[in-house]
Structure 1
């Protein structure tokens, strides 16, 4: 049970992981008691416990209020014999107020391709939304700046040390934390989940629990990205109207941040149309294997970026009529170096105010599916993103055949 039951990561955590994990286990045991005479399986109860806990965590302003709300929930689950419609958190009914799921109650209602296309087109982002969320749009071609002096130095993405880009392949010491720090409201300090160190710590480990022999950087502006390779526009590619879900894995190279794997999945059939490890243009600094899942790139077998581009930018794959589905898709299109304006982005679609929910959390909350428990897999992520959109517009993730 312990290995499967874990709290969902949040932007603002009311309590630390270990405390939330203990309370989640108590909640699971309480649900077992409440539903002992029903046909609900332990897997069902694990999913329910996780959804209830994350709902309380999101609606608690502090660690103290979180503990209080959870104590009420633990009490009322038995008091009302598992009838969640009678349970209230912060004075609000647990059911009927978007408690735990993003899911669409109409799932399975769309069975024709024409209706699906109509629903999908309503989710396409306009140009202003694309620009606001970091997408490179074609109009930016006129903003290229050739000031080379401004590009000589870069802050290391991991340790924030300012270094000379041309020295990136020279060995040095980069000390960093692989996990992003999380703010703890009770201690009023940030904590690193990777090692438990806080920003208030006097230990040497507060500077980083991991080391690497190179600094790394990531260019994000159009000007910086063009220094790796120019962008291609889909507007010049005629082709079939299709809907494609895609995801890239990236690595750090001598030129910055580059694509090393691309997966493209067809929305309507669920078939994988393209899935290749790709040679980056620059020399490899770090494959980022803990996240990318790529451990080796065989330069004698894997296609180059230009060879891959000729395949995935074509009339039967990505063309001017394609609708592209992804999570934080601006990152993928930037490393693919393509301009495209028909985009559905689940990170924006499900965003809450200025915060964007992770695909890992979204897949669990919408699909009850656990992904990214270890290394990332672009195939798994592309399929999860596609299924999240299907649920959003009322399509069963299992549907692969369509009426016209």
Structure 2
């Protein structure tokens, strides 16, 4: 049997106030009664109501004098108070800060908002692409065209708040990207139909309807997005102790050759063989863009001053992308790959023209015939960074341009890890005559070369300036751009010497696809951390994840948004260092699960007889020689060798 007393709690008692039943099954309204309350009741918490602002709080003094909180009085005459009247205190709940907190100043009408990252008209990456990059690009262009038409009509009209309703080109691109991404994520199976209906609706939309849409939706969404910042990187370690996990991330040197590294400098015999091969081929090369054969001259040809033959180069600057497979492919036939740069099928003539053909050299012995490789030299006194300490690790990135000697170094950037202080950021004068600066990818322009100052003069000028205050320019954030003209050095060897001044053979050198940077710098370094190896592609080589995609996935940050203006090596170097910080946090959690402990800044392995090693701990044990040496030193407990490790 179940109790039936709870079935009538929602019904008022028929007797009302006349009911004298102690445990009545009906509902009764509770009313405050004038009952004497001890003095301690004034200190108890009470619930705030609408009457709090107009009526004083109930205390033993007011009750004893006959004044009840609800305004009723007793029949007895008020007695004179024997104690002094106590002024009512403001409850602690009214003294707390307002929740939610006030909006940041960037949303105020009088304070300009922080400028957003510039984006190009290129669909954003999402986990499950509903239609493929080519179709999404086509739909995005139609969507942006209609938005641009309506935005131009608002700008031409005679509206009172025309300046507030008109969006700039960058904001308009961001709005189109947001709407296309939202449709792709929320309508995966019917993406094409939904976005076609949206484009058709924009075609029929009037100016007044567009203004109402901008006021109600777009402006609010833009303000919300401007206040959102990527979450900070939490490694579980203080910033100055993150380097102790780096030995567990060092790449195994025995597998570097298959990634394109040159682990040891080529011998003199191999260099002589490479030079003989180039001489026998009469300097004929294969264009790195259009794949046609041409001849290159180290010096300009006397009769016409040409550097290359076979006319101008016509090519597609983007790699072809195969559309997503569908169930109807068995009936309609397989889909052909499309170039995202012009939406043309693979095999069609190029959409971009360059004056000369270009080529790239990848073979180690031929690279050494142009500029010899060196091993990282011993360095007993590394140069200190802006914080006054030698860097625990160095993250570096290079930009390359095409010359008559192939793909050469034209910019080198190095930052301290994990702080992100800029150590070196210089332009490099290549050895050969420049054919193409490759600005779309390198970001280096002829104007940067013309405005550059020699590195020695820049250092002399900086030495005359007073030292910056702590925490100003020495602690650059990961998204602050380089300011002022860059200095320039005489050649790749000079840039390599600057990089090696901060390194020792045991200093971890961090980069993304670092084999390209090391090969153009002609450096063989034994302690390498490559984010391509840290975050491998599930399909294996030769597939790789790009730095832009990894930064967006793991850090929630957008980089390389310059479009045709190219990349910024300083931004790429700092993004690579932050990816390694993210990997350090993940690896430190695994080490803690496997029994590793942190004692006085030293990472200690699990004690003998502990839990059996997991698959992660087995993988950690198969690391580089530097890591094994550090673990052995930790077990012996020698403080002198621990510092050396």
Q: Same fold (TM over 0.5)?
A: yes
1-10 or 117-126: bigger deviation: 1-10
Match of 2:428 among 278, 281, 295: 278
In structure 1, what is the Cα distance between the partners aligned to 2:232 and 2:569? 28
Shift in alpha-carbon separation, 1:357–1:21, aligned structure 2, 3 A: farther
Tell me the distance in 2 between the aligned counterparts of 1:218 and 1:148: 16
Match of 2:400 among 242, 250, 253: 250
Distance 1:51 1:382 in 2: 31
Q: Aligned with 1:285: secondary structure? A: strand
Higher relative contact order (CA 8 A, sep 6+): 1
Question: Quick check: 1:8–1:361 contact (8 Å CA) kept in 2?
Answer: no
1:174 and 2:313 equivalent? yes
Q: Is the 8 A contact 2:320 2:337 kept in 1?
A: yes
* Deviations, residues 1-29 of structure 1 (Å, cap 9, x unaligned): 99689544599975134437869xx9xxx
Output aligned runs, 1:205-224, within 5 Å: 206-224=348-366
- Per the TM alignment, residue 338 of structure 1 is displaced from its structure 2 partner at its CA by 0.3
**Native 8 Å contact 1:7 1:17 kept in 2:** no
Deviations 1:123-157 (CA, angstroms, capped at 9, x unpaired)? 11111221121111116447715154533322100
Contact 2:418 / 2:581 at 8 angstroms: preserved in 1?
no
Aligned residue for 1:32?
Answer: none
Shift of 1:363: 1.1
Compute the displacement of 1:386 (Å): 0.5
Contact 1:239 1:321 in 2 (8 A): no
| CA separation of 1:189 and 1:230: change in aligned 2, threshold 3 A | same
Aligned residue runs from structure 1 range 63-142, under 5 A: 67-68=188-189, 107-111=234-238, 113-114=240-241, 116-138=242-264, 140-141=266-267
Of 339, 342, 346, the match for 1:192: 339
Change (3 A) 1:143 1:280: same
The residue number in structure 2 matching 1:360 is 548
Mapping 1:43-82, distance limit 5 Å: 67-68=188-189
Q: Is the 8 A contact 2:321 2:338 kept in 1?
A: yes
Deviations 1:30-72 (A, max 9, x none): xxxxxxxxxxxxx9xx99x969968x9xxxxxxxxx943979x
Q: Does 1:19 align with 2:204?
A: no
Contact 1:6 1:50 in 2 (8 A): no
Matches within 5 A, 1:248-397: 248-296=398-446, 297-298=449-450, 301=454, 302-305=488-491, 306-314=493-501, 317-352=502-537, 353-354=539-540, 355-374=543-562, 375-394=566-585
CA distance in structure 2 between the partners assigned to 1:275 and 1:248 by the alignment: 10
Report deviation, 1:163.
Answer: 1.9
Residue 185 of structure 1, CA deviation? 4.0
SS of 1:218's equivalent? coil
Residue 11 to residue 226, structure 1, CA distance change in 2 (3 Å): farther
Q: How far, CA to CA, are the matches of 2:529 and 2:182 in structure 1?
A: 25
Aligned residues of 2:401 and 2:442 also touching (Cα < 8 A): yes
- Mark the CA change 1:215 to 1:6 in structure 2 (over 3 Å): closer, same or farther: closer
Question: Deviation per CA, 1:233-263, whole angstroms, max 9, x where unpaired?
Answer: 1044445572011111110001011111111
Distance 1:332 1:11, change over 3 A: farther
Deviates more, 1:122-131 or 1:331-340: 122-131
Runs of 5+ in structure 1 lacking a partner?
27-42, 57-65, 72-102, 201-205, 396-402
Give the TM-score of the pair, scaled to structure 2.
0.46
What is the number of residues matched between the two proteins?
330
Residues 313, 370 of structure 1: CA spacing in aligned structure 2 closer, same or farther, 3 A cutoff? same
Distance 2:317 2:234 in 1: 38
Where do residues 156-175 of structure 1 align in structure 2 (5 Å cutoff)? 156-166=287-297, 169-170=307-308, 172-175=311-314
SS at match of 2:256: helix
Q: Show the counterpart of 1:150.
A: 277
User: 1-side partners of 2:374 and 2:132: how far apart?
Assistant: 46
| Native 8 Å contact 1:246 1:265 kept in 2 | yes
User: CA 1:304–1:184 in structure 2 vs 1: closer, same or farther (change >3 Å)?
Assistant: same
Mark the structure with the bigger radius of gyration.
2
- SS of 2:548's equivalent in the other structure is helix
SS of the residue corresponding to residue 265 of structure 1 reads strand
CA distances 1:319-338 after superposition (whole Å, capped 9, x unpaired): 21211111100000111110
What root-mean-square deviation, in Å, do the aligned CA atoms of Structure 1 and Structure 2 show? Answer: 3.8
CA distance in 2, matches of 1:175, 1:11: 34
Greater fraction strand: 1
Change in Cα spacing, 1:382 to 1:143, as seen in structure 2 (3 Å) is farther
Deviations 1:184-204 (A, max 9, x none): 24552111111111026xxxx
5+ residue gaps, structure 2:
1-115, 144-173, 193-229, 326-333, 383-390, 455-487, 587-599, 602-645
Deviation at 1:269, TM superposition (A): 2.3
Distance 1:391 1:21, change over 3 A: farther
Contact 2:418–2:578, Cα closer than 8 Å, also in 1: no
* Partner secondary structure for residue 515 of structure 2: helix
Deviations for 1:160-179, whole angstroms, at most 9, x for unmatched residues? 01222337713622110011
Residue matched to 1:399? none
